[in-house]
Amino acid sequence: MPQLSVVTGGAGFLGSHLCDRLVAMGHHVVALDDLSSGHMSHVQQLASHPRFELRGHDVVQSWPLGLDGATRVFNLACLASPASYQRQPVQTTLTSAVGMWRVLEAAQHSGARVLQASTSEVYGDPEVHPQAETYHGLVNPIGPRSCYDEGKRVAEAMCFAYHRERKAPVRLVRIFNSYGPRLRPGDGRVVSNFIVQALRGQPLTIYGDGQQTRSFCYVDDTVEGILRMMEADIEGPINIGNPVEHTVLKLAEYVLRLTGSRSRLERRPLPPDDPKKRCPDISRAKHHLQWEPRVSLEDGLRETIAYFRSELANERLAA
């Protein structure tokens, strides 16, 4: 009988790719999503599959019935784009904190192992570089990003509280700047922003001097790391990200070259609490998961640009 896996946020960017992989591996998959940032189109390729089900559900609410047989729960539910979570800070905080509690309570009844998708944002604007899992971070608890940063930190604390007190089987990954097809136009993430702006001939928005760095990990590599972590013999946390660091200006150069766009760069002030550097130490992932990213930034951007070309062409046809 196929293993039952639940993916919260299963119609989102990362969650939908994870659902694809789990179904391909033979799992029966139930995706839970309130579609606040996910989209039905992300899982349309699975809609008629006999081992896939999408249920509308907000993880802040009571756990839905009929999932007692689940053996794996991947908790990916949360707004992840800065533009979205800063518009809905209360819901974002509740999704991370209360949603994590709901997931852990449900898993206690079924005996399921829970993987929490945390984030590099728990490191805040780091004073240590690159960031190892032993670094406790520098986060502003009342800043405009705190609903996400601190929400994820609370979710991590909840996981390990359940693990210590109730022996809950938990796994924790900290994801660094995942990108790829199914990102949404206008979601505020730098990769999708740049690509959409370049394809539309609009100026590419550079915040600050553009020298701040990010480490971009293609979605297929991220999903592989998540899957390996779920089956690993370590609770974590473990960083899942690409240790190759790029400035925002360098990313803009890649996007302009690969799209053939002549868009200019437009400077704007750096938002409050925006991290100046972001790069994972993935020593633990290499040792415990035998994992490291395989897809180069250039190859991953080509796939992502092709996706957005198709999406924007469909928008024009529908207009």
Q: Which residue has the tokens 């092709």?
A: 306
Distances (CA, A) of 116 to 160, 229, 231, 307: 11, 10, 13, 28
CA distances from 50 to 7, 26, 239 (A): 16, 11, 34
Give yes or no for a contact between 131 and 281, defined as CB atoms under 8 angstroms apart.
yes
User: Is residue 177 a contact partner of residue 261, using CB atoms and an 8 Å limit?
Assistant: no
CB 208 within 8 A of CB 178: no
- The yes-or-no answer on residue 254 being catalytic is no
Q: Which two tokens stand for residue 6?
A: 């639940």
Catalytic residue of the set 85, 148, 162, 218: 148
Nearest to 293 by CA among 230, 228, 212, 211: 228
CA nearest neighbour of 133 among 22, 286, 11:
286
Name 233's Cβ contacts closer than 8 Å, sequence gap at least 6. Answer: 288
How far apart, in Å, are the Cα atoms of 159 and each of 6, 7, 216, 319?
Answer: 17, 17, 26, 46
User: Mapping DSSP to helix (H, G, I), strand (E, B) and coil, where does residue 286 land?
Assistant: helix
Closest by CA position to 170, among listed 84, 217, 112: 112
Phi, psi of 179 (to 5 degrees): -150, 165
Residue type, 55: R
Which sequence positions are flagged as catalytic? 148
